[in-house]
Structure 1
Amino acid sequence: MKKFLKLATALIATLLVLVACASGGGSKSSSNGGDAKKTLYFIPIVDIGAYWNPMRLGAEETAEKLGYELIVKTSPPAEAQKNEKHIGFINEAVSNGAAGIAIAPIEATMFKNPIKQAGDAGIPVITFDADLENPEDRVSYVGTDNELAGAELGRRAAERLIADGITAGSISIVCVDRAQPTMIAREKGLKAGFEEVMGDKTKNFKFLETIQDKDQAAVSKEQLEGQITANKDLVLVFSLGSEGPDVGVMEALASQNKAGKILHFGFDYTPTWEKGIEDGRITGIVDQDAYNIGVQVIENLVKSIDGKKIDKNIPIDVKFVEAKDIVEYGKQKAEQKTTTTE
């Protein structure tokens, strides 16, 4: 009987270990034996799509190379109470004694207190993709200066309108969430860049109310179709990032027979653009090096953990790509990523 009880106890213990290992939560890990001091939390807004996927890959591969386990926490685009859920991820990292936290804050002020609390607990926090209102509330920001990137997009669009002889009309902007710091900065920048090139003729153009779709293409498609119907002088659309706006805008242009007639400038490379090149549903894009953002986030977070001084801002440049060059550009990005990971 005693032998039976010992055997049963051993089996139960083995099962508990297996269950614990199986519930790791979808993150790449290195062999650190579960040491919290070798664990990093990586909290993107989402982790799907041609922008977020390479970023996650860069972060995962860099963490593994440096001997850290990376725990990736995020939520679906249309998640209810998304802000609160992501703040909960920060609190979880603090409770678990993580070595460092990297987060793309969805809102510039709501994340201030939990990030400061993490810092007070001795856990360095790096923001990426979007930043906080007060730079002193985090260790560093890695990513694009979204206002400057937006300005580049606005300048390129204005140059194209002038080249096409278009000197008046309505302009639409489509984004995931108007309250996101990235979207606010990009919209501010593109309007400034547009005015910089268009000059006095800027007054001949009207920016319509910004569309937000929570990354749901059907929503942006329907709303843009409404704007096209109500504004016969619509000449230009900006989509400010993510698959929802990208797809929604291109589908609206197709359904309203406006492909190639309304210019469309987008944010970030995605293979989705290739479907709109031939019929003119995409005119040009500015692209961020998402994979490199992931790499730089982890490299600098580990430096901070090791007590090394890092810059408060680590900028990642953007590149403008005309529609005719998007396919070749996509191939170059794929080759660059392969070379970087070898």
Structure 2
Amino acid sequence: MKKKIIALLSTVFIVGSLAGCGTKTQTEGTASTSGKKVIYFIPIVDTGAYWSPMKKAAEDEAKALGYELIVKTSPPNETQKNEKHIGFLDEAIKNKAAGIAIAPMDPDMFDKKVKEANDKGIPVVTFDADVKTKENRTSYIGTDNKLAGEQLGENGAKSLKEKGITKGKIAMAAVNLTQTTMTYRQEGIKAGFEKVMGADAKNFEWLEPIQDNDQSAESKRQLEGQITSNSDMVAVFSLGSEGPDTGVMEAIKSQGKAGSIYHFGFDYTPTWENGVSTNLISGIVDQDSYAIGKTIIDTLDKKIKGEKVDGVYPVPVKWITADKVVEYGKEKQKQFTTETK
């Protein structure tokens, strides 16, 4: 009996040891379980009309080039979002990823960890927003958010001037007002608006910006309050994402201000189509997020192979008036379907 017990314990020990070794190899190796080199893709979120095509393009291009893409992100309302995403960066470094792509929400907080990856020979591409020290990353890919904001502000001002509006209150709504992309967009919108309005710019008052953490009910509630308190409101700029887009349109509708409060937004989403015929959206600027996702992987691939890459790959935005939004959406869908085959 004693010999049988010893034999049984020995078998358990051997099996357990083998299982432990297997786990260690999977979590610490430089390659995935498939044997492919790994690229970490860390967007702010991975859903919505802007982020989903970008993620899809990155997945398609990574597959075509023979990489495994690991996507890491967190919900919009994550309370420790910066810390969590820095943790994803740390995970990529510890797992010796072949490359990292990240959308840093704060240029200072992400700077040190990006430098750490760079110092360990891991190329890091930033997108959507950049880190503070440009030398710490390989490339930035995406929109110049201040210039994009200027373009939206300029076109918004032109639309108001064409309607003879030269004074009034203006609101803004965003997911997160401290996020780098949002601060740049705010600055750009005001600069572009004032540039076009000229001397009349002083007749407008910018209200306290709204933050809704991508919760449409919250932006709706806050904007309804601002509309009630400011009967001379003439425009709202929403800075991107489904929460503010939907919340702003619902607030304008609920207050009976469709056609008298003009709404200008960021990035195409089918949501806009619901507001075209009811005058709840006036025009948008749109980024080509699919092109951003593809360029991210192509750039990392070149760097991993030792080829020369540029420090910045700018992706411009397009201005689309409300009457063109539906047709533009069809073209976007056609392009996306073609490119993802």
TM-score (ref. length: structure 1): 0.91
Which deviates the most, 303-312 or 157-166? 303-312
Q: Deviations over 1:115-135 (max 9, x none)?
A: 100111110110001111222
Which structure has the greater CA radius of gyration? 2
Structure 2: which amino acid aligns with 1:239? S
Counterpart Cα distance in 2 of 1:230 and 1:135:
44
Aligned to 1:314: 313
**Aligned-pair CA distance for 1:254:** 1.1
Q: Percent identity?
A: 58
1:13-24 matches, within 5 Å, as: none
**Aligned-pair CA distance for 1:93:** 0.3
Counterpart Cα distance in 1 of 2:19 and 2:135:
43
Counterpart Cα distance in 2 of 1:49 and 1:236:
24
Aligned to 1:27: none
Q: Deviations over 1:230-266 (max 9, x none)?
A: 1111000000000111011011111111112100000
Aligned to 2:273: 274
Please say if residues 108 and 180 of structure 1, whose CA atoms lie closer than 8 Å, have aligned partners that are also in contact.
Answer: no
Q: Deviations over 1:251-285 (max 9, x none)?
A: 11111111121000000000001111111000010
**Aligned-pair CA distance for 1:184:** 1.0
Aligned to 1:80: 79
Aligned to 1:263: 262
**Aligned-pair CA distance for 1:32:** 6.3
Aligned to 1:28: none
Structure 2: which amino acid aligns with 1:147? K
SS at match of 1:235: strand
Aligned to 1:298: 297
Aligned to 2:47: 48
Aligned to 2:211: 212
Q: What are structure 2's unaligned runs of at least 5 residues?
A: none
Counterpart Cα distance in 2 of 1:295 and 1:159:
34
**Aligned-pair CA distance for 1:341:** 2.6
Aligned to 1:229: 228
**Runs of 4+ more than 6 Å apart:** none
Counterpart Cα distance in 2 of 1:60 and 1:273:
27
Aligned to 1:117: 116
Counterpart Cα distance in 2 of 1:97 and 1:141:
21
Task: Report how many residues are paired.
Answer: 329
SS at match of 1:172: strand
Please say if residues 32 and 67 of structure 1, whose CA atoms lie closer than 8 Å, have aligned partners that are also in contact.
Answer: no
Q: Deviations over 1:132-161 (max 9, x none)?
A: 122222111000111111111001110011
SS at match of 2:50: helix
Q: What are structure 1's unaligned runs of at least 5 residues?
A: 25-30
Q: Deviations over 1:289-329 (max 9, x none)?
A: 01111000011011111111111110111111111111111
Q: Deviations over 1:201-226 (max 9, x none)?
A: 00000111111111111111111111
1:167–1:152 distance in 2 versus 1, CA, 3 Å: same
Counterpart Cα distance in 2 of 1:71 and 1:103:
12
RMSD: 2.4
TM-score (ref. length: structure 2): 0.91
Structure 1: which amino acid aligns with 2:279? G
SS at match of 2:49: helix
**Aligned-pair CA distance for 1:48:** 1.0
Counterpart Cα distance in 1 of 2:251 and 2:19:
52
